[in-house]
């Protein structure tokens, strides 16, 4: 029997822009996915998905999940013609858009197979296997989600051609955040594809927005490292505006972002793919975190209370 885990993540700055080589900042969060690999007689892989979910998520992602698993098995050279395995996914990370659910599951599965088969994969190889799995969900993933899911912590991430640069960032101490769930399932492939199309048809507009996103993330990094949270919050607000301009937000995300800001969050933005999924609010201190989370719950949405920079 092999066991593995993958961290959920929150993108604090520059989702989507990261697909085109701009830097982005992400952090692992306190929730994770676990995978258990067990041998059984026969051949093939049976997947049992026991993760908690946003309604409809698992059904919607079933075909992509299968493609993802096939890609990973191939990458890891696992002969499923002569061996049979049951893979069980569980853990406290909700299977939903925006929290890195697919990446966390890929990392957990790679780790579990590595343990069961004595492959002794390093974190770097686990990350590569998870990246291969992410292609089943994303098509052209930047790699930020699987990197956060594998290595954890707070990271500065940039894709340079085929290679990926990750730098660990340090926060003076962990900071409370709230993640609000719209309850809507998003298709990353479709949303990323939409950005690509609009970027090609509206080059001037997109060049201006991309330049602003590049400047913003550099400044945000400095303020995060200086632990100037008020400023970090302002940059999150500005990042949300840029994401609205590339048309990846939606009414529900904007509503939750406004709600968080009106209840004292230092900043708030959508996170991850957008067009549904989660938003994130910067809410240092348990009291502020609770106030923002309650405001979101009072409107009938789920709120996840967690931290960044652990
Ligand atoms: C999805 O969590 C993040 C995106 O930037 C896609 C990617 O980076 O692969 C939208």
In angstroms, the CA 189 to CA 192 distance is 5
Question: How close is the Cα of 19 to the center of ligand 1, in Å?
Answer: 7
- pLDDT for residue 310: 82
Q: Is the CB of 15 under 6 A from ligand 1?
A: yes
Question: How close is the Cα of 38 to the center of ligand 1, in Å?
Answer: 31
In angstroms, the CA 25 to CA 263 distance is 25
Q: Is the CB of 5 under 6 A from ligand 1?
A: no
Other Cβ atoms closer than 10 A to 105: 32
The two structure tokens encoding residue 302: 């789920």
Asked if residue 6 lies in contact with residue 149, where contact means CB atoms within 8 angstroms, the answer is yes
Catalytically active residues are 145
Q: Is the CB of 147 under 6 A from ligand 1?
A: no
Q: Which of 144, 149, 210 to mutate to test the pocket of ligand 1 (most atoms within 8 A of CB)?
A: 144
3-state class (DSSP) for residue 44 = strand
**pLDDT tens digits in sequence order for the chain, 310 residues long:** 999 999 999 999 999 999 999 999 999 999 999 999 999 999 999 999 999 999 999 999 999 999 999 999 999 999 999 999 999 999 999 999 999 999 999 999 999 999 999 999 999 999 999 999 999 998 889 999 999 999 999 999 999 988 889 999 999 999 999 999 999 999 999 999 999 999 999 999 999 999 999 999 999 999 999 999 999 999 999 999 999 999 999 999 999 999 999 999 999 999 999 999 999 999 999 999 999 999 999 999 999 999 999 8
- pLDDT for residue 54: 94
In angstroms, the CA 17 to CA 23 distance is 8
Q: Are strands 163-169 and 154-160 parallel, antiparallel or unpaired?
A: antiparallel
Please report, for residues 36, 79, 93, 186, the alpha-carbon distance to residue 27 in angstroms, rounded to integers and kept in the order given.
Answer: 24, 35, 14, 21
Q: Which of 14, 16, 103, 253 to mutate to test the pocket of ligand 1 (most atoms within 8 A of CB)?
A: 16
The two structure tokens encoding residue 206: 């997109």
Per the listing, tokens 């992400």 go with 26
Where does the chain show beta strands of DSSP type E? Answer: 2-13, 24-40, 44-49, 84-91, 154-160, 163-169, 175-181, 267-270, 278-282, 302-308
Q: Is the CB of 141 under 6 A from ligand 1?
A: yes
């Amino acid at each position: 029997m092999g066991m593995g885990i993958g961290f959920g993540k929150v993108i604090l700055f520059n989702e989507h822009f990261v697909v085109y080589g701009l830097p982005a900042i992400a952090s692992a969060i306190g929730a994770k996915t676990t995978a258990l690999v067990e041998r059984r007689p026969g051949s093939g892989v049976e997947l049992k998905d026991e993760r908690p979910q946003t309604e409809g998520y698992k059904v919607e992602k079933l075909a992509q999940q299968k493609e993802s698993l096939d890609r990973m098995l191939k990458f890891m050279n696992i002969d499923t013609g002569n061996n049979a395995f049951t893979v069980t996914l569980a853990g406290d990370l909700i299977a939903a858009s925006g929290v890195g659910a697919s990446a966390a599951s890929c990392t957990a599965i790679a780790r579990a197979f590595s343990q069961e088969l004595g492959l002794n994969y390093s974190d770097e190889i686990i990350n590569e296997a998870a990246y291969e799995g992410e292609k089943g969900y994303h098509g052209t993933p930047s790699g930020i989600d699987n990197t956060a899911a594998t290595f954890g912590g707070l990271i500065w991430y940039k894709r340079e051609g085929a290679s990926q640069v990750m730098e660990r960032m340090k926060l003076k101490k962990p900071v409370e955040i709230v993640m609000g769930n719209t309850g809507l399932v998003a298709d990353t492939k479709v949303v990323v594809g939409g950005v690509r199309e609009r970027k090609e048809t509206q080059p001037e507009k997109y060049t201006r927005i991309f330049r602003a996103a590049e400047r913003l993330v550099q400044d945000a990094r400095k303020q995060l490292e200086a632990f100037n949270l008020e400023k970090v919050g302002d940059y999150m607000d500005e990042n949300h505006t840029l994401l609205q301009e590339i048309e990846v937000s939606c009414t529900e995300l904007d509503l939750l972002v406004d709600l968080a800001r009106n209840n004292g969050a230092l900043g708030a933005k959508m996170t991850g793919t957008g067009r549904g999924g989660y938003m994130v609010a910067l809410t240092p201190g348990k009291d502020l975190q609770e106030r923002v989370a309650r405001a979101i719950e009072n409107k009938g949405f789920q709120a996840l209370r967690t931290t960044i920079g652990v």
